[in-house]
C-alpha cells in the first residue's frame, strides 16, 4: 500500500525529469550533450557538457605554458650564472668536431663532465681566437646547472672575477672579501673566461692565486679560458696558479683556425 509520502516522492521524480539536451560547439562544429547531476530526493539538475576537443586544446595550451615557463626559468638561471646571452642555449653538441684535434678536445671535455672532474683540478682552454673556447665553457656551465642545480656553477670573465673581490673592499659592500673567497671556493664548478685581458697587477695575481689555491684544496674544479699559450698564461696569472692544474688537470689546445662564420656541412 502506497503512503502519501511515496506518492509525493514519485511526483517529484516525474516532474524533475528533463528531456536530453545539448549545446553546439561552433569552433569544433559538434553537438555536446549536457550531463545530469543528482541532488536530493531524486531531483537532478542539468549542466552543459564539456567539448572534448576544447578540453584537449586547453590541456595542450597548459602543457605548452608549463614547458615555456620551465625553459624561461632555465634561461634565467643560466643568465644569473654569468652565461653570456649568446650562449644561453649552448650545449656540448654545438662544439664542432671536424678534425682530430677538435675530437680530442671534445672527448676530454666529455670525460671531464662524465666524472673525471672528481679527481681533477680542472681544465685549461688555450688557443686561437674564434675556436669555440667560450662556447664550450658556457656549454659546460649549462650542463652543470641542468644536472647539479641552479647554484652549482658560475662563469666569470677575468676582469669580472677580479671586480667581484675588489668590490668587497668598499665600505658600502654587504659582503666581505672573506665571504666572497669562501663562496667562490665552494662553487662546484667555476669557469673563468678572457684570461689575459686583465692588467696583470700584483693584486690580480694575489686574487687569482687565492681563488685557485682555495678551490684546489677544496677539490672543486676550475676551467680557465684564454687566447694564450701556456707560457702566456703563466705570465698572466703566475706560475703557482698554473702549477695547480698540472696535478691531474688537462691543457686543451685549440689550434685550428677561427670557426666564426663557418657553416656546418
CB under 8 Å to 14, separation ≥6 — which residues?
Answer: none
Residues 45 and 90 in one domain: no
Q: Is residue 75 part of a domain?
A: no
Q: Is residue 106 part of a domain?
A: yes
Residues 172 and 109 in one domain: yes
Q: Is residue 70 part of a domain?
A: no
All three cell numbers of 35: 550531463
Compute CA distances 68 → 71, 77, 143, 196, 198, whole Å.
5, 14, 19, 39, 39
Residues 44 and 110 in one domain: no
pLDDT value of position 11 = 47
CA dihedral 123, 124, 129, 134 (to 10 degrees): 30
Tally of domains in the chain = 2
Residues 155 and 90 in one domain: yes
Residues 30 and 98 in one domain: no
- Provide the 10 A C-beta neighbour count for residue 145: 21
Q: Which strands form 122-127's sheet, in the order they lie side by side?
A: 153-157, 189-193, 222-226, 122-127, 250-254
184-221 tens-digit pLDDT: 999 999 999 999 876 678 888 889 999 999 999 999 99
Q: Let me know if 93 is exposed, middle or buried by CB neighbors in 10 A (0-12, 13-18, 19+).
A: exposed
Residues 27 and 128 in one domain: no
Report the distance separating Cα 151 and Cα 187, nearest Å.
Answer: 8
Residues 135 and 23 in one domain: no
Residues 100 and 156 in one domain: yes
Q: Is residue 78 part of a domain?
A: no
Q: What's the CATH code of the domain at 184?
A: 3.40.50.300
Residues 95 and 210 in one domain: yes
23-73 tens-digit pLDDT: 898 889 889 898 888 888 778 788 888 999 999 999 998 989 898 888 888
Q: Is residue 67 part of a domain?
A: no
Q: Is residue 246 part of a domain?
A: yes
Q: Is residue 69 part of a domain?
A: no
Residues 27 and 122 in one domain: no
Domain enclosing residue 183, as ranges: 85-254
Residues 108 and 16 in one domain: no
- Record the pTM: 0.79
pLDDT value of position 18 = 53
β-pair type (153-157, 35-38): unpaired
> End-to-end distance of the chain based on CA atoms, in angstroms?
92
Q: Is residue 61 part of a domain?
A: no
Tell whether the model's pLDDT for residue 170 goes beyond 80. yes
Residues 148 and 221 in one domain: yes
Amino acid at each position: 500500500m502506497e503512503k502519501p509520502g511515496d506518492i509525493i516522492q514519485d511526483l517529484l521524480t516525474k516532474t524533475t525529469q528533463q528531456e536530453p539536451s545539448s549545446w553546439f560547439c561552433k569552433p569544433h562544429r559538434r553537438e555536446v550533450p549536457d550531463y545530469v547531476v543528482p541532488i536530493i530526493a531524486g531531483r537532478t539538475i542539468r549542466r552543459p557538457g564539456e567539448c572534448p576537443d576544447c578540453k584537449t586544446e586547453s590541456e595542450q595550451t597548459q602543457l605548452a605554458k608549463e614547458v615555456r615557463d620551465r625553459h624561461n626559468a632555465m634561461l634565467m638561471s643560466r643568465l644569473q650564472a654569468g652565461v653570456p646571452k649568446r650562449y644561453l642555449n649552448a650545449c656540448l653538441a654545438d662544439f664542432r668536431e671536424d678534425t682530430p684535434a677538435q675530437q680530442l678536445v671534445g672527448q676530454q671535455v666529455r670525460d671531464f663532465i662524465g666524472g673525471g672532474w672528481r679527481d681533477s683540478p680542472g681544465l685549461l682552454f688555450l688557443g686561437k681566437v674564434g675556436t669555440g673556447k667560450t662556447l664550450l665553457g658556457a656549454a659546460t656551465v649549462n650542463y652543470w646547472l641542468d644536472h647539479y642545480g641552479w647554484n652549482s656553477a658560475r662563469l666569470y670573465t677575468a676582469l669580472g672575477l677580479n671586480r667581484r673581490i675588489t668590490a668587497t673592499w668598499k665600505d658600502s659592500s654587504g659582503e666581505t672579501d672573506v665571504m666572497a673567497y669562501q663562496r667562490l671556493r665552494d662553487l662546484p664548478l667555476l669557469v673563468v673566461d678572457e684570461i689575459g685581458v686583465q692588467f696583470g697587477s700584483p693584486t690580480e695575481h694575489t686574487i687569482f692565486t687565492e681563488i685557485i689555491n682555495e678551490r684546489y684544496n677544496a677539490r672543486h674544479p676550475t676551467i680557465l679560458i684564454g687566447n694564450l699559450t701556456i707560457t702566456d698564461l703563466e705570465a698572466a696569472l703566475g706560475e703557482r696558479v698554473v702549477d695547480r692544474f698540472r696535478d691531474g688537470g688537462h691543457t686543451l689546445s685549440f689550434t685550428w683556425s677561427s670557426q666564426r662564420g663557418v657553416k656546418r656541412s
